[in-house]
Structure 1
Amino acid sequence: VPGFISSDKVTGDVTNLGRGGSDYTAAIIAAALDASGLEIWTDVDGFMTADPRVISTAYTITELSYVEATELCNFGAKVVYPPTIYPVCHKNIPILIKNTFNPEAVGTIIKQQVSSPLGKAIKGISSINDTSLITVQGLGMVGVIGVNYRIFKVLAKSGISVFLVSQASSENSTSIGVRNADADLACEVLNEEFAKEIEMGEIGHVCAEKDLATVAIVGENMKHTPGIAGKLFGTLGRNGINVIACAQGASETNISFVVESKSLRKSLNVIHDSFFLSEYQVLNLFICGIGTVGDSLIEQIRCQQQKLMQENGLKLNVVGIANSSFAMFRREGLDLSNYRVELKEKGIKNSPKIFHDEVIKMNIFNSVFVDCTANAEVAALYKDFLQHNISVVAANKIAASSKYDNYRELKQVARHRGVKFLFETNVGAGLPIINTINDLINSGDKILKIEAVLSGTLNYIFNKISADIPFSKAIQMAKEEGYSEPDPRIDLSGKDVIRKLVILGREAGYRLEQEDVEKHLFVPAEYFEGSLDDFWKRVSTLDANFEAQRKLLESEKKHWCFVARLENGKASVGLQEVDASHPFYGLEGSNNIILLTTERYKEYPMMIRGYGAGAGVTAAGVFADIMSIANV
């Protein structure tokens, strides 16, 4: 039986039934014969969860109800001609979609009753990347009967199809979705229809917002399931996607919404990911800085990727890597096993601005910017990233210890945009210090006093000083072991400890600037003047004085610690002598220790102690912040 070719009933001329004619003919014959099933062989494996050209993880839906299939067909999924479904639906005849070029594929079966996969509220996502939104609005519409009748009557007379309608309950506006090609004509006929009302100011001039896209999520499991719409719009909002209009029928099988065309790819990906249509939840990472910490982080991610996918359903996708000279980006993810060679050979020239612009241009969903630098220009990018709904994880201390108003603004922007600004490793490397303070405060406690040894470098130096190792030699050893900055004067000045104390004080609820911290330094100010070579030539002149003091301390069974202190809102840093009864006395190597005195922990302060420096533990702390964003 020819399904596509037909003859005109009046003239007898040979013609065709147009798009979907064969499908429709087959459905009519199947219904007339009361067939046990209808097979439609086409060029795809069946209905997909989303457009595979946009979402690489989209897969074939094995079962759909007649209603779900109709919704997807009417909204961009061109697997089956929509009218095909009605004749067989009426007779409860299942439809099997199969691929002529891949007959082994399971395909999609469309039937009355389908199983309900656990946890999957929606079956598929469909979209139309050819949308104009026309809004008829005005106070003169409120309470007036027949306005919508006139809108749809004049559009129907002009042959314009409306595929989305959204109306406010106040009745003062009605928005309709049409194809871009119909937009100008629709505006023209509507302005003619309501010319009188427009002239009187009761209704505004009708115009179209073009180059939009419409997305529909479809699934009968959405019926009577609370929170679907909330999750949908919350997910879109957290990813910086603005919903221009939305519509949902009382049948609850389809929620449709309109976004800008440039947000379509991002919208489809984030919905596919969030509603478990994807096999994995995806977190897209941009890593800036591949020194010791950045390199260690990338290696830790590489080693954990498979395990996280298998055990946690989480895919960490590193889509951007940069150092000070080069950057490379790949939406589908970079190969971490050979990234340094690839960066050098294929990377583009990089600067903070170039990196920023590339990240924003990619407009990728579930994005996290990871800063493993110590660069002020990179830290200056945080605010704009957060405003574009990109979470920020920083090993870089500059932003959190900058002016208090800037610190507060970054925190507020992150909260307002529904993303994260995390910097646990700013203090204590991988030790859970900032998170612990936040947990205490959020549970109603108050931080009364903080005492801490926060410099692994200085603790290493004062642990190394002995009769055989003078002060200057200990500094040299710290530099050679990688504990100190290339210019150790940065550590000796206490600047790093001051930054850390300021961060802790702010997280504890105090308004604190670096200038507010009282400094009691152990190296005279003149040693910080001049070049680094000048410093190395002069520093040995301090050895004799340090050795005399060390001997005295040794005879008294005491030890030096460079202590940061915050009490009653007053902050100070300085060298402190501690005896064997003090918790700081036995602190070894480059370890850190912190004592938190709170209203709950007043008599016996809470103590956190462990490695406070080193690329591995710092990278692990950054990794932990990334995992907290993934929430697994």
Structure 2
Amino acid sequence: MTTSVYLGIVGVGGVGTALLEQLSRIPNAPKLVLLSRSTKTLLAPAPSYSSAIPFVDWETATAAPGITVCDALQPDEIIEHLASVPGRAILIDNTSDILLAKTYPSFLRRGISIVTPNKKAFSDELSLWNNIFDSAAQENARVYHQATVGGSLPVLSTLRDLITTGDEIVKIEGVLSGTLSLLFDTYMPAVGTANTKWSPLVAHALKIGFMEPDPRDDLNGMDFARKLTILARVVGIQVTGPESFPVDSLVPESLLSLPSSAAGVTELMAQLPNYDEQMDLAKIEAEKSGKVLRYIGSIDVPTQTIRVGLQHLDRDSPIANLKGSQIVSIYTKRYGANPLVLKGGGGGGEVTAMCVMADLLKLLGRL
């Protein structure tokens, strides 16, 4: 007998919107019984769930018979709604909300599986990481979070396959920020030269939407560090959090205290040119050694050394020639001196949604 599967989706931003569109195109998709955004929630009628929320034109469904519209729900209310379905339930969390992430164990202990690109769930306190997977094991629920590292690149599944089959991970290094990859390739290209200053590059990336609304969220290195934390935990290093290892911030210390409001970002961009000389000095140091400046992360597994920051690289190295994409090199005992390399665009709403969708389809196959 086939068990019915029901979905609850939280977050309808860029990733969530793209995911709903992709869900509308797959056959025999699970029923959507909860759709929540920051201001309101749509609920399919319990307990029969005879009608479901449509994946497309869902905003017009507020007038459909049986569909309830209410304010945003608290996590415990979402749990109760999903736990009442007459089958298996899955939460898809498209947010970056740490408060929701901290309730994952409660979902899992009620048998609700989770698919998410939320990095904070897996890079926060180590106790939360352990609690998530312990809770999943207790209730035979499952957790899929491929999109938390590398976007569409199959970094986590590849690492887990290597480990499960008995290989020994020696080192992981790469660039896990498409934004920083593009900035540094333009600032100091591997081929040729460039005379541009740092602050105009940041301003342009912000203008075209290639950076977070507050550029400090890209430049402080913490998003990158969260990804390294997840990778390290997957290979067995008990990292307490992204603050437990060195992370080079590209944000001048005096600008850290500016508010994250629109006015604060305007002031940030107005002051950033005053610090171009610091980046120029770093570039000059790289030039003296015949190398290029790049922002990379690395994990040395035997020594359990993790670092995120500026490094000098040979001009012909794969990382030095990266142009606005992501790359991860995995050195293992079996692969020897020639690492397994994963490379690609990685991010963006549609691409990240595709990765979430792939996780969902894998989960459906297991359920």
For the Cα contact (< 8 Å) 1:326–1:343, is it kept in 2?
A: no
Distance 1:482 1:420, change over 3 A: farther
Aligned to 2:191: none
In the TM superposition, residue 355 of structure 1 has moved relative to its aligned partner by 4.7
- Establish whether residue 297 from structure 1 lines up as the match of residue 297 from structure 2: no
In the TM superposition, residue 366 of structure 1 has moved relative to its aligned partner by 1.8
- Establish whether residue 516 from structure 1 lines up as the match of residue 251 from structure 2: no
- Selected match of 1:318 from 32, 44, 47: 32
- Establish whether residue 571 from structure 1 lines up as the match of residue 275 from structure 2: no
In the TM superposition, residue 340 of structure 1 has moved relative to its aligned partner by 2.9
Aligned to 1:474: 201
In the TM superposition, residue 333 of structure 1 has moved relative to its aligned partner by 2.0
For the Cα contact (< 8 Å) 1:521–1:575, is it kept in 2?
A: no
For each residue in 1:454-473, what CA deviation from the matched residue of structure 2 results, as whole angstroms up to 9, or x when unmatched?
A: 11121122233374653222
Is there any run of 5+ residues in structure 1 with no aligned partner, and where?
1-271, 275-281, 310-314
In the TM superposition, residue 581 of structure 1 has moved relative to its aligned partner by 2.8
Matches within 5 A, 1:187-226: none
Aligned to 1:530: 258
* Aligned residue type for 1:380: K
In the TM superposition, residue 419 of structure 1 has moved relative to its aligned partner by 1.4
Matches within 5 A, 1:392-431: 392-431=114-153
CA distance in 1, matches of 2:35, 2:109: 21
In the TM superposition, residue 359 of structure 1 has moved relative to its aligned partner by 2.5
* Aligned residue type for 2:228: L
In the TM superposition, residue 426 of structure 1 has moved relative to its aligned partner by 0.6
CA distance in 1, matches of 2:198, 2:349: 25
In the TM superposition, residue 486 of structure 1 has moved relative to its aligned partner by 1.5
Matches within 5 A, 1:15-414: 272-274=1-3, 282-303=4-25, 305-306=26-27, 309=28, 315-330=29-44, 331=49, 332-342=51-61, 347-353=69-75, 355-360=77-82, 362-414=84-136
For the Cα contact (< 8 Å) 1:326–1:344, is it kept in 2?
A: no
* Aligned residue type for 1:541: N
For each residue in 1:177-203, what CA deviation from the matched residue of structure 2 results, as whole angstroms up to 9, or x when unmatched?
A: xxxxxxxxxxxxxxxxxxxxxxxxxxx
* Aligned residue type for 2:347: A
SS at match of 2:57: helix
Aligned to 2:234: 507
Distance 1:588 1:605, change over 3 A: same
- Selected match of 1:622 from 353, 356, 362: 356
CA distance in 2, matches of 1:344, 1:552: 63
SS at match of 2:341: strand
Aligned to 1:242: none
For each residue in 1:412-452, what CA deviation from the matched residue of structure 2 results, as whole angstroms up to 9, or x when unmatched?
A: 11122111111111100111000111111111112111111
In the TM superposition, residue 518 of structure 1 has moved relative to its aligned partner by 1.4
Distance 1:547 1:349, change over 3 A: same
For the Cα contact (< 8 Å) 1:369–1:391, is it kept in 2?
A: yes
* Aligned residue type for 1:629: L
For each residue in 1:243-297, what CA deviation from the matched residue of structure 2 results, as whole angstroms up to 9, or x when unmatched?
A: xxxxxxxxxxxxxxxxxxxxxxxxxxxxx424xxxxxxx4321110000011111
For each residue in 1:295-354, what CA deviation from the matched residue of structure 2 results, as whole angstroms up to 9, or x when unmatched?
A: 111111112x23xx4xxxxx3322211101111122332112211343599621113346
- Selected match of 1:593 from 305, 317, 327: 327
CA distance in 2, matches of 1:327, 1:355: 11
Distance 1:483 1:344, change over 3 A: farther
SS at match of 2:123: coil
* Aligned residue type for 1:525: E
- Establish whether residue 610 from structure 1 lines up as the match of residue 344 from structure 2: yes
For each residue in 1:54-83, what CA deviation from the matched residue of structure 2 results, as whole angstroms up to 9, or x when unmatched?
A: xxxxxxxxxxxxxxxxxxxxxxxxxxxxxx
Matches within 5 A, 1:445-484: 445-465=167-187, 467=194, 469-484=196-211
Q: 1 or 2 for the larger relative contact order (CA 8 Å, sep ≥6)? A: 2
For the Cα contact (< 8 Å) 1:505–1:566, is it kept in 2?
A: yes
For each residue in 1:159-212, what CA deviation from the matched residue of structure 2 results, as whole angstroms up to 9, or x when unmatched?
A: xxxxxxxxxxxxxxxxxxxxxxxxxxxxxxxxxxxxxxxxxxxxxxxxxxxxxx
More strand by share: 1
- Establish whether residue 580 from structure 1 lines up as the match of residue 315 from structure 2: yes
CA distance in 2, matches of 1:344, 1:488: 40
Counting matched residue pairs gives 345
In the TM superposition, residue 580 of structure 1 has moved relative to its aligned partner by 2.4
> How well do the aligned residues superpose, as a CA RMSD in angstroms?
2.3
